[in-house]
Amino acid sequence: MRRKVRPTSTRAADRGDTEQVVGRRTRIHGVDLIRVSLFTLVLMVHATGSINWDPDHVRGMQFFTMMVHIARYGFVFVTGFVLFLAYYRSPITASTFWRRRYGFVAAPYLAWSVIYVITGYAFVREPWPDAAGVTGDIGTALLQGNAQYQMYFLLISMQIYLLFPLVRMLLRRTEGHHGKVMAGAVAIQAGMFTLFSFYHPDLDWYGHMWKTLPTYALFLVGGALAAVHYERFAPWVRRNRHWLMPLSLAGAAFTVVMFFVTTGDGHIPGLAYAAWSVQNLPWYLGAVALFFIVGQAWDDRRGDGTGWGARLVDYGAVRAFGIFAVHPLVIDLIHQSGFVDWLYATYPDTTLQRSILLVLVTLVASLCLVELILYTPLARVLVAHDRIRPRRKPRAGGESTIPPASKADACAEPAPAVPAEPAPSATAPEAGAPAHGSPEHAGAAAR
């Protein structure tokens, strides 16, 4: 990806944004486009997954869900890429790194876990547990990352932050042998996918193993090494697009064919759509490569950032984490409002129009809520961004005394948001669905 170079500072060198810190500072705008694109896909699958579980649409919904599982792996790749681009050669200590990174992610994780546990009680409309029960549920949600179906990715992000100093030390000590490190990551990734695909013990802890970092080893290490060797890797990708793109598309084609070969009406085995299925790995790898290539193309064509497309991506990148955090709540509120009933009454014969309208309403409502939060003192806690203060009108002959808000560190990282939380052996949506056959939690389809 083409990079714009400008001088750096000591303070800037410690920030974990989409810039490389090696004597000079660069910004890779393609990362913002990738992040916004992945968030859009996630919101789409969660919104459509809240209404499309009747027998006529379940196969198509599972196919869409399977394809959008790329979001979790794409986010891990981008997280590794961003962190190592910023910090690999930085003298920042582990304690300073942890303080800064957890300073942004811990408060939103705690706040939204509590919010989703409480709203879960409210939407179910059953008697609330006592104080001890509520406290226990919140504790379990924090430990397991399951307060809502997207929260587990914050748990994964915190594991990445925890182990970043160790992985950085490993890569520094194995310089000249990074091919072997990559081979080890491939072996771990293949082993985890094989384990989850074919071994299904009846053990509670096993159902949470997919939320551990080894499940994403190849994508984390791949992103890290792409950053460490960026000066050589990016030109290599540019020179070899002519065969990288067809190869990536071939991986996608393999996964698509396998899905339709192994499924049928009323028969959709978990292996066909599971996020950790070995037959879906070619798509995940190919899609990450395609996103990287598209990001490079965006850098080539973005210009000076004043065009409407560039401004739109910049706008979305600042609000990405907020949309990740709020969109399940928005989906639940939309269902509670009766809007989905109206959709079915107005468009009884086609799910396409229902799905498009639901996605648009979810996106607009989520953006409005995030925009509102950004102007409150709770912005840092709820959307991991510094509060935006309205500009005061400049006095005559003077300028505003309040500078525009800058992007918070966390907003430069890929904000997590990916599909729901199934156990590795799950083969069907959870029971207890609300109106129109949607799962208990809207978007739980994304398993």
- 20 belongs to a structural domain: no
pLDDT for 26: 62
Domain that holds residue 119: 32-389+401-437
Does some domain include residue 5?
Answer: no
- Residue 447 in any domain: the answer is no
Task: From first to last of the 447 residues of the chain, give the pLDDT tens digit.
Answer: 544 433 333 334 343 344 334 434 467 899 999 999 999 999 999 999 999 988 889 999 999 999 999 999 999 999 999 999 999 999 999 999 999 999 999 999 999 999 999 999 988 867 889 899 999 999 999 999 999 999 999 999 999 999 999 999 999 999 999 999 999 999 999 999 999 999 888 888 888 999 999 999 999 999 999 999 999 999 999 999 999 999 999 999 999 999 999 998 888 998 899 999 999 999 999 999 999 999 999 998 888 888 899 999 999 999 999 999 999 999 999 999 999 999 999 998 889 999 999 999 999 999 999 999 999 999 999 999 999 888 776 665 554 444 444 433 333 343 333 333 333 333 333 333 333 333 333 333 333
Q: Specify the pTM.
A: 0.83
Beta bridge partners of 24: 22
Looking up tokens 């070969």 gives 261
Find the helix or strand (DSSP H, E) in which 254 lies. Answer: helix 241-262
Q: Does 394 map to a domain? A: no
How many C-beta atoms lie closer than 10 Å to residue 42's C-beta? 28
Q: Which of 194, 189, 255, 191 is nearest to 219 (CA)?
A: 189
Contact present, 385 and 318 (Cβ < 8 Å)? yes
Gap between the Cα atoms of 47 and 441, Å rounded: 11
Q: Which residue has the tokens 């409480």?
A: 118
What is d(CA 369, CA 363) in angstroms, rounded to the nearest whole number? Answer: 10
Q: Is 173 within the bounds of a domain?
A: yes
Residue 422 CB contacts under 8 Å (≥ 6 apart), including other chains: 270, 274, 275, 444, 447
Please name which of 194, 218, 196 lies closest in space to residue 207, comparing C-alpha atoms: 196
The count of structural domains within the chain is 1
**Is residue 111 one of the residues assigned to a domain?**
yes
**Which residue, 24, 43, 51, is CA-closest to 353?**
51
Closest CA to 354 of 334, 369, 368, 336: 334
Q: Are 50 and 442 in contact (CB under 8 A)?
A: yes
Question: Which among 299, 301, 281 has a CA at the least distance from the CA of 289?
Answer: 281
Asked if residue 446 is part of any domain, the answer here is: no
- Rounded Cα gap, residues 307 and 400, in angstroms: 25
Is the residue at 363 inside a domain?
A: yes
Residues 6+ apart with CB under 8 A from 69: 275, 280, 284, 418, 419, 446
Local structure of residue 240 (DSSP, 8 states)? T
Pairing, β 19-22 against β 4-6: unpaired
